[in-house]
Amino acid sequence: MKISTLPLSLYTITMGLAGYTIALRTLSLFGNMGRLPYHVPFFIALAVFLTTTFFFLVKATRYPETLRHDWRDPLHINLFPAVSISLLLLSIAGQTIAPNCAWYCWLFGTILHGIFSIAVMKTWVEESHFGIEHFNTLWFIPIVGNILVPIMGTQYGFLEVSWFFFAVGFAFWALLMPLIMYRLFFATPLPKSLAPSMFILVAPPAAGFIAYFKLTHQVDPLAHILLYLALFFFVFVLIQAIHRGFGKFSLSWWATVFPSTALATALLVIFHAIHASVFLYSATALLIGTTLWLLILLPATIKFIAKN
């Protein structure tokens, strides 16, 4: 793959593998499954992140105009926060494996995501060429990262910072939902290449449930609403995916992994809180399905990168 054409969507690989690590570790802790090998996907995710970041630094040095072009693009601008989200997910995934690394990932990920959130929203407001036809599920990416901050922020003692990011993420998720529904119902359908990104709809309520539970330590009505919204959107987009298909392989397929693992983790958290076995069985089934899906994605991705 040429450095000049290196896509920001490569960071979704780190997001997916880190999310898978988190779900496996949560299953190991809450599901009485013994010591599952969650260290393996964590170190793979870390290696993928470091490699991807190295090549993007080379790209930024040699071809800065390509990054400036991506920033002005209504689609690609929303992928820049995938860098900070990768850091936040690595901090959650590595909290017991590499605690010092997890702390720095959270710190730099939080600062970077705050900067990206303001910068991306500023561009949304100022760019007059952005229309409803440009709006798609990728626009949720800058929002999801804000909701992820409290998951480790509360553990590190930054309670007010965690509430701040949660409030911003929750508010803008609520504002963007009517827009994406309007886009899906009344505008032209999403191109088939973006069909896998529909799974991003699952991530904000699923991650929001986990973050809210970390902040409040209870499963109240709002927590139930977030969880069941995530379940509904997962069923909805899964049916859409089966009906429409994903077409030829692309890196956008990785957009399915993190939302699915976020939902599995949310189901395990509520199982641990209220001890209803149906949530454990559902999470386990979802993780088995995700594991099988990863066995398809990983070789396809290696082949795709080598070929392109």
Checking if the pLDDT of 75 tops 90, the result is no
pLDDT at 74: 80
Angle at 261 between CA 45 and CA 295, to 5 degrees: 60
What is the pLDDT confidence band of residue 173, given thresholds at 50, 70 and 90?
A: very high
CB neighbours of 255 closer than 8 A, spacing ≥ 6?
A: 9, 12, 196, 197, 199, 200
Checking if the pLDDT of 144 tops 90, the result is no
Cβ–Cβ under 8 Å, residues 109 and 160: no
d(CA 149, CA 89): 9
What's the CATH code, domain 3-307?
Answer: 1.50.10.150
- Find tokens 């779900």 and name the residue: 23
Q: pLDDT of 202-235, one tens digit each?
A: 999 999 999 999 999 999 999 999 999 999 999 9
Checking if the pLDDT of 1 tops 70, the result is no
pLDDT at 185: 83
Q: pLDDT of 176-198, one tens digit each?
A: 898 888 888 887 777 777 888 89
Determine the average pLDDT of the residues in 257-267.
97
- Find tokens 């009485």 and name the residue: 32
Nearest to 4 by CA among 69, 82, 63: 63
Q: pLDDT of 6-38, one tens digit each?
A: 889 999 999 999 999 999 999 998 877 667 788
Three-state DSSP class for residue 33: coil
Determine the average pLDDT of the residues in 150-173.
96
pLDDT at 179: 87
Checking if the pLDDT of 278 tops 90, the result is yes
d(CA 5, CA 26): 37
- Find tokens 């990920």 and name the residue: 109
> How does 47-71 read in b/e, with b if 16+ C-beta sit within 10 Å?
ebbeebbeebeebeeebeebeeeee
Give the lowest-confidence range in 33-37, 62-66, 147-151, 183-187. Answer: 33-37
pLDDT at 95: 93
The mean of the pLDDT values for the chain is 91
Higher pLDDT, 299 or 194: 299
CB neighbours of 188 closer than 8 A, spacing ≥ 6?
A: 133
pLDDT at 34: 66
d(CA 117, CA 227): 24
What is the pLDDT confidence band of residue 4, given thresholds at 50, 70 and 90?
A: confident
Checking if the pLDDT of 150 tops 90, the result is yes
Q: pLDDT of 130-142, one tens digit each?
A: 677 778 888 899 8
